[in-house]
Amino acid sequence: MARARPARGAGIYSITGPRWQDIRALVDQHLPSQERLRQLVPILVFGFLIVASLGFNYQIGSSKDARMTAAQRQLALNADIASLKLRAEVLASGTDWQGELAQSLPLRAAREGRVVLLSDAAGSIQARVPIGSHYQGNLLTVLGPGQPLTIMGADAGVMRIALNDGTDALVTVRNVPRTDAQLTFIQPVASALAGWRSGATIEVLLLICGGLLLMLFAGAFWYFAPIRKAREPDALTRELTEAIPGCGVWRWNLARGHIDWSPPMYALLGLQPDSSMMSYGTLASKLHRDDDLRAELDRHLREGLNLFDQCFRLRHADGHWVTTRLRGHITRDADTGEPYLTGMAVMADPNAVPGAADANARLRDAVETISEAFVLWDNHNRLVMCNSKYQQFHGLADDMVQPGSSYDEVIAAASEPIVSKRFAVANKNDHQSRTYEAQLEDGRWLHINERRTRDGGYVSVGTDITDLKQSQTKNAESEHQLRASVAELRLSRRELEHQKQQLVDLAEKYALEKNRAEAANRAKSEFLANISHELRTPLNAIIGFSEVMQQSLFGPLGHEKYQEYARDIYSSGEYLLEVINDILDMSKIEAGRMTLDLGDVDVADIVQDSMKVVSQAAAERGIALERQGPEHFPIQADRRYLKQIFLNLLSNAVKFSQDGGRVDVRLTRSNGQLKIAIKDTGIGIAQTDIAKLGRPFEQVENQFSKSHQGSGLGLAISRALVELHGGTIEIKSREGYGTTVTCSLPIRTPRPANVEEPLAKSA
Ligand code: ADP
């Protein structure tokens, strides 16, 4: 046999020797294609099975016929021998038919279900073998009517008939020579064919088993036919195998479970390269029972994952476990659509566990996606894993964060942030971990948690809490400001309460003083009213007597001076009475005792009367006095008070007018009110003094007014009386040019009003 050896460019294996190659090429040329063959095999096998079944059926039938023939021959032979052996004299004596029959029968004549009957001339059965046979009575009754056997005897041969009891049997009858007795051999067909049946059953079973086996082989061929195609390494596999020696190439039909390994894969497991296709069962026998490679592949297929990267353990020929990492792609065959895993297997880190590659990748992803800086050191202070945030945080180059880098190297290469502040955070007395907050030189804050791992390494997680710290600082500042504001507010409130208390005290004092003032005012008014009343009585006497003396009613006074004194006393008394009347009126007003006596009055008429009163004084000083407006102006008012008002105002106008001046009185209607404006061309009033006027005893002092008499009550009384009518008084004046005092009275029903407001308003 030619020796197999690896050969480049001609597949993984080739067979040496040109003759074999020629034969192989010839066979390949004339053989139907593999797929065609694969389709033909089941048909051929099915056809073969049908032909075989037909042949077998024929053979079974033939053997059955042969068996029947042999049984008939055996029956006839036994019958002939026995009939010849029977002795006629013994039968004629009629003594021992049963014994004679037993002796005459050849050996094994009564085997295989055969029954021998000996009957007399009447057909009555006299002896039988075996003796316990149930065939009794008359022979014709046993064999049934219509059969020629008893009549024809040996000439009828062996016949297959249905006995009277329904049994299908082979029967032959012999006439015993020289007697009337007949010897009958009966063998049921079932007994005759018993040996044939058991043999046939075995043969049928063998045929079925053979057929099934053949079908199984055919199925296997049909199923495994693509193996040849699959196991032939493609160009990529060959290239991979050559490019990466020591790396096993896998091509795994995931639908059928056929696996094709390259020689290095066998070498990895210490096995001899095998050119045959490997089934998954073979692989499973080498696979560690905890590593369910098939389940993982199913998961990939289910989830549509094409990239496969898995570690698992295979048993080496020596018995130890080899941790293998298989990396590959799952693709689908363009023709059949069957999934294939094509990949490379290498010996992995013995510590690697199945699924670790995936798990590591997932873990790396997870660690990378967290917002914290993460680093894990092993018990030898070597780097196990860190994320990019840790790398950025320490300014580490990529080559410095490779797993296995020592702690000292990494820290030396790191641009270690300078910690300006560090605060330990309360930690439940745990010596295995510590937590602290650190402020870096650039102002950022970190919350760092370091913890020992079980294997002696440690893991550190750093969280950037700058925003949190800033908001905490802001909150602290806000809180501080808030506290300051609260303190200020408390102070202000205290001050306000203090001021409030002061105000309350002042209000109390004011109310007290006001009450006192009101009481004093009332007392003053009452005093004035009383004193005025008391003064009026003697004053009337003075006025009356002085008038009498002035008029010399009881005779001349004598000297001229007495006459002059009497006149002065009278005028002074008159003036004093006016003042006292004014004081009395003012007191009444302030005491609220002044009431109106309303009636229908003609204001124009009252104005006219008042003008008449002052007309003499005006005429004496050359002051023109004129009235404008309607002749009649009826309203509801107190006649006496209206006259008092107009007299006051007109007398003031005349009094404070220059000689040769002018006083105009004008009545108008405006906005439902009667307006009586008294305008003079007198000395006028300074603007600053206008506001003072209208208050009792208030006078404006100037050179001119000093020369005039007056109590300073006229305007105040006028204002009070106008307001009692529900009206107002307005003073407009310009110093040196004149004054206009306007009374506004409601035309309709007058309404009472208190005398509180200042009288005048600046023009
Ligand atoms: P008297 O009785 O003093 O006149 P009044 O109350 O009538 O008191 O007037 C108060 C003051 O108002 C007067 O003293 C005067 O100074 C001023 N006064 C009133 N009417 C006029 C006016 N028509 N022209 C100038 N001054 C006036």
The one-letter amino acid code at 308 reads F
User: DSSP alpha helices (H): ranges in 146-193?
Assistant: 149-152, 189-192
| Rama region for 707: left / alpha / beta (φ>0; ψ in -120 to 50; rest) | alpha
- pLDDT higher than threshold 80 for residue 173: yes
Which atom belonging to ligand 1 lies closest to the Cα atom of 702?
Answer: 16
Q: What are 577's two structure tokens?
A: 């009475």
Among 328-342, 495-509, 703-717, whose mean pLDDT is lowest? 703-717
Q: What is the number of the ligand 1 atom nearest to the C-alpha of 712?
A: 8
Intervals of CATH 3.30.450.20 along the chain = 18-29+228-359, 60-197, 370-464
- For the Cβ of 729 lying below 6 angstroms from any atom of ligand 1, the answer is no
CA of 568 to the centre of ligand 1 (A): 24
- 293 CA → ligand 1 middle, Å: 127
**Peptide bond just before 130 cis, omega within 30 deg:** yes
Q: Contact, 664 vs 628, CB < 8 A?
A: yes
Please indicate whether residue 654, judged by its CB atom, sits closer than 6 Å to ligand 1.
no
Torsions phi, psi of 757, nearest 5?
-70, 155
Cβ(740) – ligand 1 distance below 6 Å: no
Tens digit of pLDDT for each residue in 614-631? 999 999 999 999 999 999
CATH code that applies to domain 595-762:
3.30.565.10
**Is the CB of residue 739 less than 8 Å from the CB of residue 685?**
yes
683 lines ligand 1 (CB under 6 A): yes
What residues does CATH 3.30.565.10 cover in the chain? Answer: 595-762
pLDDT at 277 exceeding the cut of 80: no
**Please, what is the average pLDDT of the chain?**
81
Q: Residue 169 C-alpha to ligand 1 middle, in angstroms?
A: 179
Superfamily for 60-197? PAS domain (3.30.450.20)
Provide the pLDDT confidence category of residue 237 given band limits of 50, 70 and 90: low
Does residue 632 have a pLDDT over 80? yes
Q: Which of 151-155, 265-269, 365-369, 605-609 has the highest mean pLDDT?
A: 605-609
Residue 682 Cβ inside 6 Å of ligand 1? The answer reads: yes
The answer to whether 733 and 690 are in contact (CB under 8 A) is yes
Higher pLDDT: 758 or 541? It is 541
Least confident of 294-298, 412-416, 715-719, 748-752: 748-752
Residue nearest to atom 21 of ligand 1 (CA): 652
Domain 18-29+228-359: which topology?
Beta-Lactamase (3.30.450)
Angle at 555 between CA 553 and CA 560, to 5 degrees: 100
Q: Which residues pair with 260 in a beta bridge?
A: 251
Residue 685 Cβ inside 6 Å of ligand 1? The answer reads yes
CATH architecture observed for domain 370-464: 2-Layer Sandwich (3.30)
Cβ–ligand 1 contact at 585 (below 6 Å): no
For a ligand 1 pocket test, name from 589, 650, 656 the mutation site with the most ligand atoms within 8 angstroms of its C-beta: 656
Q: Which residue has the higher pLDDT, 379 or 579?
A: 579
Mean pLDDT, range 427-454, rounded to an integer: 74
Tens of pLDDT, residue by residue over 87-143, are 888 887 777 888 888 888 888 888 889 999 999 888 889 899 988 888 888 888 888
Best residue among 583, 699, 730, 740 to mutate for probing ligand 1, ranked by most atoms within 8 Å of CB: 699
For the cut 80, the answer to whether the pLDDT of residue 244 exceeds it is: no
Q: Which of 582, 589, 594 is nearest to 535 (CA)?
A: 582
Q: CA separation (Å) from 622 to 243, 480, 658, 660?
A: 147, 85, 9, 4
pLDDT of residue 421: 59
In DSSP terms, which residues pair with 734 in a beta bridge? 738
**DSSP structure class, residue 357:** H
Q: Which atom of ligand 1 is nearest to the CA of 684?
A: 25
Least confident piece of the model among 231-235, 346-350, 522-526: 231-235
pLDDT at position 636 over 60: yes
Residues 6+ apart with CB under 8 A from 156: 148, 149, 172, 173
Average pLDDT over residues 682-694: 85
pLDDT at position 34 is: 56
User: Measured on CA atoms in the order 97, 103, 106, 111, is the torsion positive or negative?
Assistant: positive
Residues 117, 128: contact at Cβ < 8 Å?
A: yes
Mutation pick for ligand 1 pocket among 589, 652, 695 (CB with most ligand atoms within 8 Å): 652
Cα–Cα distances (Å) from 94 to 120, 271, 300, 590, in that order, read 10, 92, 98, 191
From atom 7 of ligand 1, which residue's Cα is the shortest distance away?
714
Say whether pLDDT at 357 is over 70. Answer: no
Q: How far is CA 380 from CA 309, 384, 413, 449, in A?
A: 29, 10, 18, 20
Prior bond of 354 cis (ω within 30°): no
Percent of the chain scored above 70 by pLDDT?
A: 83
Answer yes or no: is pLDDT of 307 > 70.
yes
pLDDT digits (tens, 9 = 90+) for 193-230: 998 999 899 988 998 998 898 888 888 777 765 544 44
Q: Is the pLDDT of residue 717 over 80?
A: yes
Q: How confident is the model at residue 652 (pLDDT cuts 50, 70, 90)?
A: very high
Q: Bigger pLDDT: 296 or 403?
A: 296
Neighbours of 75 (CB within 10 A): 24
Shortest-distance Cα residue to atom 2 of ligand 1: 710
Torsions phi, psi for 575 (to 5 deg): -65, -40
Q: How far is the CA of 712 from the centre of ligand 1 (A)?
A: 7
* 142 within ligand 1 shell (Cβ under 6 A): no
Beta strands in 89-211 (DSSP E): 115-119, 125-129, 159-162, 168-175, 182-188
Q: How far apart, in Å, are the Cα atoms of 189 and each of 114, 147, 172? A: 10, 17, 13
Atom 16, ligand 1: residue with shortest CA distance: 700
Q: What is the largest CA-CA distance in the chain?
A: 244
Residue 644 in contact with ligand 1 by CB distance below 6 A: no
The HSE-up count of residue 381 (CA atoms within 13 Å, CB side) is 6
SS3 23: helix
Structure tokens, 714 = 């006229």
Q: Which two tokens stand for residue 335?
A: 């023709």
Using a 6 Å cutoff on CB, does residue 651 contact ligand 1?
no
Q: Which residue's CA lies nearest to atom 4 of ligand 1?
A: 710
Q: Higher-confidence residue: 594 or 614?
A: 614
Q: Is 718 in the pocket of ligand 1 (CB under 6 A)?
A: no
**Does the CB atom of residue 373 touch ligand 1 within 6 A?**
no
Cα–Cα distance measured from residue 164 to residue 117, given in angstroms and rounded to the nearest whole number: 15
Range of weakest confidence among 174-188, 467-481, 545-559, 582-596: 582-596
**Whether residue 419 has pLDDT greater than 80:** no
Among residues 268, 276, 328, 323, which one has the least CA distance to residue 297?
Answer: 328
Predicted confidence at residue 759, as pLDDT, reads: 38
* Ligand 1 atom closest to 694 (CA): 6
The position carrying tokens 């059953």 is 201
**Residue 760 Cβ contacting ligand 1 at under 6 Å:** no
pLDDT per residue as tens digits for the range 42-66:
788 888 889 988 998 999 999 999 9
The Å distance, Cα 652 to ligand 1 centre, comes to 6
Question: Residue of the nearest CA to atom 12 in ligand 1?
Answer: 699
Report whether residue 376 contacts ligand 1, using a CB cutoff of 6 Å. no
pLDDT at 758: 38
Query: In whole angstroms, what is the distance from residue 426 CA to residue 436 CA?
Result: 8
Expressed in angstroms and rounded, the spacing between residue 736 Cα and the centre of ligand 1 is: 14
Percent with pLDDT over 90 in the chain: 26
**710 CB less than 6 Å from ligand 1?**
yes
Instruction: Name the helix (H) or strand (E) containing 359.
Output: helix 356-369
Question: How remote is the CA of residue 715 from the centroid of ligand 1, in Å?
Answer: 7
**Closest residue CA from atom 23 of ligand 1:** 653
